[in-house]
Structures are given as C-alpha cells and as structure tokens.
Structure 1
Amino acid sequence: MAWITALFLTRLGIWKDGSARLALLSGAGLAVVLVDDPSFLGWVLFWTAVSLAALLPRQRFDDALAWARRLGWHAISAAIAPLKDAARLSIVRQRRGLPSSGFRAIGAVVALPLVGGATFLGLFASANPLIGRAFSQIVLPDPWATTWRALFGLCVLITIWASLRPSPYTTGTSRFGDRSIGTVFEPGVETLTLSLLTFNTIFAVENVLDIVFLSSGAGLPSGLTMADYAHRGACSLIVTALLAGVFVLLALRRGSAAAASPLVRRLVTVWLVQNLLLVASSALRTLDYVDAYGMTVLRLSALARMGLVATGLALIGWRLLVDRSAAWLINANALAAVTVLVTASVVDLGAVAAAWNVRTAFEMGKAGPPRDLCYMGLLGPSSLVSLAKLEQHAREPQLRDRLTYLRWERQTETADAQADWRLWTPL
C-alpha cells in the first residue's frame, strides 16, 4: 500500500490517465488479496498492475502481446535502473562542479572516526570490567539472517525503484497487427478451402466417434485406464483446439481475400464449432474421471483451462462475424485469462475440491467418505471444514475414527499456523 501511495504521489501522469488509475486501483485490490492469502500468483498479478500503472501514462494500451513484451523489458531493466540513475547523478554533479556524494566520498569522511572509535572502545573494554561486561551482553544479529534480509530489502528497493523511474525504452510502439500477420502466413483462397475441407472431415470423424462412445456408456478398451483416457483428452485435444485457433488467426487476417470469401468463412465457422465440440468432449472425459476418482486441484485447473480454450474459440468466431481486429482478439483473450488467474488467486482451490468431493459423496447416498481421503489430508487446512462435515455424518465407527484423526491433524496444523502472527489471516 505504501508502494502504491508513493507511485500515485510521485508519478503525476497517473492522475491524468484513466487507465493508469484503474491499474493502480486493481493493484490496491490485489494488495488486499496478498494480505489475505500471499502467493506467487498474487504477487505477479500485483506487480503487473503496479507496473501497468507506472507505464500507461507514457503509452496507451494497444494490445496484450505488446504489453507483455513491455512488462518483460521493464522487469529486466529493473536490475540496472538504480545503477543507471546513480551514474546519471554522478555525471550531473561533475558537470555542475558539485562535490562527490558517492560511497567513496562517504567512506573517506567516516573511515577514520569509525576505525579510531572502535579501537579505543576495544582498549577500554579490556581495561574496564564494567565496559567489558556491557559489551559482552550485546547480542549481535545472526549474520546469515542479516545477509538474507539485506538481499531481500535490495530486491524490494530495485523493484520499487523501477516503477518510480521506469526506463523510457519499455514503452516502444507495438509492431503487431493484422498486417504483420499477413506477412507471416497468407495462403491462397484455394489452399485454405482445400485445407478447411480436409480439417473439417477429420474433425467430423473424431467428434462422431467421441459422441458415440461418450453417449453409449461402453467400457474402455483393454489396457486403457480412465486416467489415460482423461489425460489424452485433456492434452492432445486441447492442443488441437489451440492449433486450430492459431491457424484461423494467421490465415484469415482482416482485409485479406480469404476473409472476404463466403465459402472460407462458412468452413471456418464449421471448423470452430467442431473445435468447441472437441473441447466439450475433453471436458466430459475429465468430468467422468472426476466422477470415478474425485476432484483435485489439478483436475479443477484443467477444467478451467478448457473453459479458457473454449472462450478463445468463441471469441475467434465472434471476431470473424463482426470483423474485429487481431488486437481486439488478443485483448479479449488476455482479459479472460486475467479473470481466471485473479479468481484462482482469491479462491481456495483446495477447499473447492474438498467441498466438491464431500457434496458428491452425500449426493450418492453415502454419509462419506470421498474416494480419496488421503488426498483430502494432503490438502491441509483447506479440507478442514469438509472433513468436519464428513465426520458428523459418518455412520461406521471405523470410518468415523479415521475422519476424526484426519480432522484433528488438519485442525492442529491450522492452530499451529495461527499461533504465528505472521500467518494470521482476516478469516
């Protein structure tokens, strides 16, 4: 919060730029998230918001790819920003004939008093028992802890310094656009038509097979486990959908002959619909896997990624229908990704997975337990509430004892964490 306040007071350009003020306000919200639940993801999002607030007054927001490059350069240049400013200050002082204020000049002034004073104090400590006893009671800080804290403070200083004085080279003009796409990849209309006919045929076969298999309730082939079946759907089909989206983005640039062809646009629309069916099939495979083995944080994250891919495909189709620019498509997908990431930094995914498993157990008519109590234990304090619910509804004495033990472990772990004031949370 002090960082945000300093940035707002020292960078007057933020006052006049609505986008920069919005980024700074988002940074304040993410700072609150860090207070509640510190995480690497939350820190990256906070730094991104603060860096955008510092840089947006120099360059308006054009597209997310260009700003990803700018933020990357901003992070790299942060390491040398204080050194560059110190060199500039030294040059200015030399030109104006001002005395040097560097470390060498300071050392020359304080070296003799420090060395002489330490020498006389040492002699008096050996000669006077009272002074010697007073010095012996002084506890010096741990050198390793002091070193690490100094390094941490230096990293914080460098990071904040870069936002207060960002490099002017970070806000260069973006070279990305529909024209740059066309120079990279621009096949002819005939080539695109033949390619899309081929792709649609192959995708149609895959989708028909998936629909028939998933709706028939048939068992898996011999040697193929449910995990293998779900992982294949979550990986290869998602990669297929991403490749399809990149192909459409590159081939149908705005204003090209292919984008103006009604046949190509219809074939692309059909292909996008088939890709959405592929993503839906992959999601159904994962949900079947969850029904069989329970929800985990990784499976929940996989479903979120599938939702992002489906959103991206839908946005590509909408861009094709309303004739939007490539920058609009990139920004829309970036907004969807940021929304998911911010949600993941706020929501306890472990608690969501545990609650899902408990709710599923109750819906199936069992008073607990979910299929993987070991995983529930690995979730730590996130599963405490869910384990307590299961313990209350458990009928079998042996199961109740096991749940009581797991709940007690999580409760003890939570109490130990809350005993340290550094780990306190508002809730």
Structure 2
Amino acid sequence: MTETSEDTSPASGAEKGEPRLLWATAAAVAGFGTWLLFDALPGINWVLWTGAAVAGLLLFSRSRGEPSRSVLIVGGAPIAIAGAAAVTASPGLSALICLAIVFFLALLMLLTAGLSPRSITARFAATAPLVALKTAAVQATRRGIEATQLIRSTRARAWVRGLAITLPVLAGFALLLAGADPVFAAWRDAVEVLLGEFVARMVFFVALLVVVLGAYGYAALESASSRTVEGKAPDRWLGSTERLMLLAGVAALFWLFLAVQLGYLFGNLPRIPASGMTFAEYARRGFGELSIVASASALLIVVSERYGNDDGRAGTLRLLTFAVIAAVMLLLGSAFRRVWLYEEAYGFTTARLYAQVYMCAVAAGLVMLSLEVATDFDAGRLFRRATAAATIIFIALIYWNHEAWIARRNMDRFTNTGKLDVAYLTQELSPDAIPAIAERLPSLPEPMRSELHRAVRERSAARNDGRQRRWFEWNLAGSRARQALDASLAAP
C-alpha cells in the first residue's frame, strides 16, 4: 500500500507570504482575541474570535491552492462548537467547548500545512494539541528572529536598543525614589493601578500572539518535497485459530447472558428474593458493567481486525464478529433502558443523561465498526468516522438545552411521586434551567412552590456578581434566565 506524504516540518519549506502581512494579521487576530476574551464571560466572543482564527489559517494555507473539503470541514467544526458558548450558560459545558475548540484548531493547523486527512489517526489526534503548540512556538521564535531583519536602518536599531536599555533603568530609579517622596509614591500607586490590568492584558496578548503567529507561519510554509512512501502494514501477530476461539467464546458468553436475562433484560428487577440487590443497585451497577463490556468489546474487535490473520477463514471470522457486535448492541440497549428506569424512579440528572449520550456514541461507533468489518478494515478511517459521529453528537448536546429538559422532567415527576430535589434543581443545574423552572413553577402546590421559588432567587442572587455584560458577552441562556427571573420569579 502506498500513499503520498509531505514533509511539512518548519525547516522544510519556504514562505510565500509577505512577513509584514503575516505579522500584521497575527497581531490583529491576537489583539482581537485579547479584546474579546480577556476577563470576559463566554458569549458570542468565542465564535467571533474562533472564526477569525480559522479564517487566518485558511488564508495563509492558500500558498498550496484552495483548501480541501476535509480542511474546510475541520475548520468549520470549531466554529460550530464555539457558537454554543453563546447558547449555554453551563460552566461545565463551557469548559468542554473550550477544550474542543483547542483540539480542532490544533488539528486544523496541522492539516493546513499540507498533511493528508488520512494522517488523522487515534495517535495523531491524541498528540495534535501538544505537537501544534510546540510547532507554533518554534515557528513564532523563527518569525521573531526574522522580524529583526525588517529593521534595516542603523539609526532605527539604535533607537530600539536605546529604549530597551533606558526604560528598565528609569523604572528602577522611579521605584526607588517613590520610597523617598510622597508625591512620587502617589504617582507610583496611580501607575500601579493603571498598569495592573494592562500588564495582565499584555501578557495575555503576547501569549496569544505567539500561538497565532506560529500557527499562521506554519500554515504559510510551502512544502519543499513530496514523496511516495510505502505504508507500513501492521504486524499481524494474532492467528486465525486464536481469533476464532476468542470471538466464538465472547459471542457465546454474550448471547448466553442475553438468554438468561431475556425475561427482564429490558424490564424491571428480577424477582429473586435472595438476591439482596435493590432496584437502584440493579440499574446503577448494570449500567456501569454493561457499558464497560460494550466499550471493551469494541476495542477487542478493533485489535482482532487490525492485528489478526484470517488464513482463509475470513467468512467465519466476519460472521462471529457480527455476532459479537449484535450482542453488544443489545447490551447497550439494556444499559440504556436501566438508566431510563433509574431516572424515572429516582429523578433525572445531567450525569445520568451524559451516560446515555455516551452509550449513543458507543452505538454509533459500533455502526462504524460494522461498516469496516464488512469491507477492508482501516483503523484510521474507523477513527475518523467515529470521531465525526461523536462530534455531531457533542454539537447536538451542547446546543440542546438539556438542563431545561431535566428540570421539566423532574418537576413533572412531582405530580406522580410527590418528590422533588430542590437542592439539585437550584444548586447543581446552571442558569440554562431557570426558564423551565419558571415555566413549571405555577403548577406546583404549596409549600413546594414557595420553597423552590425562594431557592431559585437565592441561587440567582449568589451567581449575580453585579457585573454589566458587554455586547460580545451576550449569552442566550443567560438572557433568557434574567427574563424569566424578572417576569416570573421576581415577586416573593
């Protein structure tokens, strides 16, 4: 098997872009980011800066022609994810959104330098953020050294050196004199207040400039060489007999488990008086164990396909593999059902919902795995497909106001059970849930309505720092929460 690979190391190419344009664009994007992001709450600022950063990467990568569809898709992912920062007010989701943006920007940076999308494997993706950061630092250093050559005038260089020497000396003497004179001391304090935020903002700007400059400089490199190399085939150390025994044993065990539990697999707790297991333990333990089995089984199949020989038994091995996948899908369905039963009995939480989302992602991965087993198995392609499916699920989750859905379901449960965890609704859920709570509040009887009303007001007051949001900090969930508080929860 052959594939084309390009040497895109920082020292391997020559830049086509004008250095001044590179510096100006990087400084503009870094300054834009400092203005929007420094000491700012998540809002539309995240998507504005992410869009600017992606546009710059695509701009400087045009030295190799128009960006490929894969590059555009990878570039669109962080923008789509960043947009959710203006939709949700959940701190936990904001942290995940930030990590996802960093990951996809790192991936995009490496791809814009000419790498083939086929290079995206599990190992490549796992190291992409660190590799991108290291490469950006190297490129920024190189560009900084080259920038000194832009100062061609001897007089200009003398001015730069003079300022570099004079300013620290003056600052040191001024600080010493401030200790000897109250006027100088007052000036020092005023400058300290003035520079307090400025210094922190400048540090943020410089750090962002280094990353952006390095990323754009790397994207602007033009590959100096392109060669065809032999792709290294995996070492197939697992024989067909071992594969048959392994897959047949796992398939038999899983289907035996399904047969034994057929009567209650998708129902309630088995009626075994001596079991000593409560319904809660059954649902919780069942979910965890079944989810681990499903994930481990998918990994086992990947190892079997990637490192196993078939020795003329491909049909039998494929049949056994599909038998394992089918059993695992049923096990996942059982685990999903157990969590659902647990939620209906004990209430809905974000942790339980995220567990179900994880199971959906595993199920999607199993579908992708089935497609690979049915054709020529390619671990890299499987990873790319599974990552795409997981990304779509993640984007759907962060745009869906699931905390409002959780609040509604828990408040609706109160009608049937008479139980409502007020502490969870007000302490654990983010402001995303406030409009739903305000909507359902009139349907609750006293004294539960007053208790929940008071708890929401107290929690909202504790969250409110009195800070006025700037226009780029606008957040849909926060805006709706404030409107709900003003309209429905303001009265005692």
Task: Say whether 1:346 aligns with 2:363.
Answer: no
Residue 7 (str. 1) matches residue 62 (str. 2): no
| 2:135 aligns with one of 66, 69, 77 | 77
Q: Distance in 2 between matches of 1:411 and 1:151?
A: 33
Q: Which residue of 1 aligns with 2:38?
A: none
Correspondence for 1:310 among 363, 387, 397: 363
CA distance in 1, matches of 2:128, 2:155: 35
Counterpart for residue 154 of structure 1: 206
The alpha-carbon distance between structure 1 residues 259 and 145, as it changes in their structure 2 partners (threshold 3 A), is: farther
* 1:186 alignment partner AA: L
Structure 1 residue aligned with 2:162: 108
CA distance in 2, matches of 1:255, 1:381: 51
Paired letter, 1:41: L
Does the CA contact (< 8 Å) of 1:384 and 1:410 recur in 2? Answer: no
C-alpha distance in structure 2 between counterparts of 1:176 and 1:376, whole Å = 58
Residue 195 of structure 1: CA displacement? 2.2
1:60 paired with 2:110, answer: no
Q: Following the alignment from structure 2 to structure 1, what is the Cα–Cα distance between the partners of residues 424 and 455?
A: 11
Matches of 1:351 and 1:177 in 2, distance apart? 50
The amino acid of 1:316's aligned partner reads: L
How far off its partner does 1:84 sit? 3.8
Match of 2:79 in 1: 28
| Range moving further from structure 2, 382-391 or 2-11 | 2-11
Aligned partner of 1:401 among 437, 450, 460: 450
C-alpha contact (below 8 Å) 1:54/1:163 kept by paired residues? yes
Q: Which amino acid aligns with 1:292?
A: A
Question: Shift in Å at residue 65 of structure 1?
Answer: 2.2
CA-based RMSD of the aligned residues comes to: 4.3
The answer (yes or no) to whether the contact 1:237–1:279 under 8 Å persists in 2 is yes
Which stretch of structure 1 is more off in the superposition, 76-85 or 277-286? 76-85
* Alpha carbons of structure 1 residues 29 and 347: separation in structure 2 relative to 1, 3 Å: same
Change (3 A) 1:66 1:392: same
Unaligned runs of 5+ in 2: 1-48, 480-492
Distance in 1 between residues matched to 2:442 and 2:145, nearest whole Å: 68
Query: In 1, distance between residues paired with 2:75 and 2:442?
Result: 46
CA distance in 2, matches of 1:34, 1:304: 20
For 1:392, the equivalent position in structure 2 comes to 442
Q: CA deviation at 1:257?
A: 2.2
Q: Aligned match of 2:293 in 240, 244, 261?
A: 240
Tell me, in whole angstroms, the C-alpha distance in 2 between the residues paired with 1:348 and 1:424: 17
1:73, CA displacement in angstroms?
1.1
Q: Measure the CA separation in 2 of the matches of 1:99 and 1:259.
A: 77
Change (3 A) 1:238 1:144: farther
Deviation per CA, 1:239-293: give whole Å up to 9, x if none. Answer: 2222222222222349952685322222221111111111112112211211111
Query: Distance in 2 between the 1:178 and 1:14 partners?
Result: 27
How far the C-alpha of 1:16 sits from its partner, in A, is 0.3
TM-score, with structure 1 as normaliser: 0.78
**2:404–2:437 contact (8 Å) kept in structure 1:** no
Classify the secondary structure of the residue corresponding to 2:263. Answer: helix
C-alpha displacement at 1:48, in angstroms? 3.4
Counterpart AA for 2:362: V
Change over 3 Å in CA distance of 1:193–1:6 after alignment to 2: closer
Give the corresponding residue for 1:141. Answer: 193
Q: Distance in 1 between matches of 2:307 and 2:337?
A: 34
Aligned pairs for 1:197-212 (under 5 A) are 197-212=248-263
* CA offset digits 1:327-364 (Å, max 9, x no partner): 322211111111122233333443232233234445x4
2:233 is matched with 179
Tell me how far apart the structure 1 counterparts of residues 193 and 363 of structure 2 sit (CA, whole Å): 55
Q: Structure 1 258/314 Cα, relative in aligned 2: closer, same or farther at 3 Å?
A: farther
Q: How many Å apart are 1:400 and its aligned residue?
A: 2.2
How far did residue 414 of structure 1 move?
Answer: 6.5
Contact 2:244 2:317 in 1 (8 A): yes
- Find 2:96's aligned residue among 37, 41, 60: 41
Cα distance in 1 for residues equivalent to 2:325 and 2:215: 42
Q: Tell me if structure 1 keeps the 8 A contact 2:237–2:307.
A: no
Task: State the TM-score, normalizing by the size of structure 2.
Answer: 0.69
Offset at residue 74 of structure 1 (A): 1.0
C-alpha offsets along residues 87-109 of structure 1, whole Å, 9 cap, x if unaligned? 4666xx59x9986999x983435
State the alpha-carbon separation in 2 of the partners of residues 136 and 116 from structure 1.
13
Q: How does 1:260-271 map to 2 (within 5 A)?
A: 260-271=313-324
Identity across the alignment (%) = 19
Distance 2:185 2:379 in 1: 75
Aligned counterparts of 2:222 and 2:238: Cα–Cα separation in 1: 32
Whether the 8 Å CA contact 1:388–1:407 is kept in 2: the answer is no
* 2:78–2:105 CA contact under 8 A, matched in 1: yes
Write out per-residue CA displacement over residues 63-91 of structure 1, whole angstroms, 9 at most, x where no aligned residue: 3425414444113333444234334666x
Structure 2 residue identity aligned to 1:106: V
1:288–1:173 distance in 2 versus 1, CA, 3 Å:
farther
Q: Which amino acid aligns with 2:100?
A: L
The answer to whether the Cα contact below 8 Å between 1:308 and 1:337 also exists between their aligned partners in 2 is yes
Instruction: Indicate the structure whose relative CO is greater, using CA pairs within 8 Å and at least 6 residues apart.
Output: 2
- Using the alignment, how far apart are the partners of 1:388 and 1:348 within structure 2? 15
Contact 1:254 1:323 in 2 (8 A): no
Contact 2:74/2:108 (CA < 8 Å) preserved in 1? yes
Name the SS of the counterpart of 2:262 in structure 1: helix
Residue 216 of structure 1 deviates from its aligned partner by: 5.9
**Contact 1:293–1:371, Cα closer than 8 Å, also in 2:** no
With over 3 angstroms needed to count, the CA separation of the structure-2 counterparts of 1:259 and 1:98, relative to structure 1, is farther
Partner AA of 1:269 in structure 2: F
Cα–Cα, structure 1 residues 313 and 279, in superposed 2: closer, same or farther, change >3 Å?
same
Secondary structure in structure 2 of the residue aligned to 1:106: helix
Deviation at 1:238, TM superposition (A): 1.9
Within the alignment, does 1:213 sit opposite 2:213 as a pair? no
Counterpart of 1:16 in structure 2: which amino acid?
E
Query: Offset at 1:301?
Result: 0.6
Q: 1:121 to 1:401 in 2, by over 3 A?
A: closer
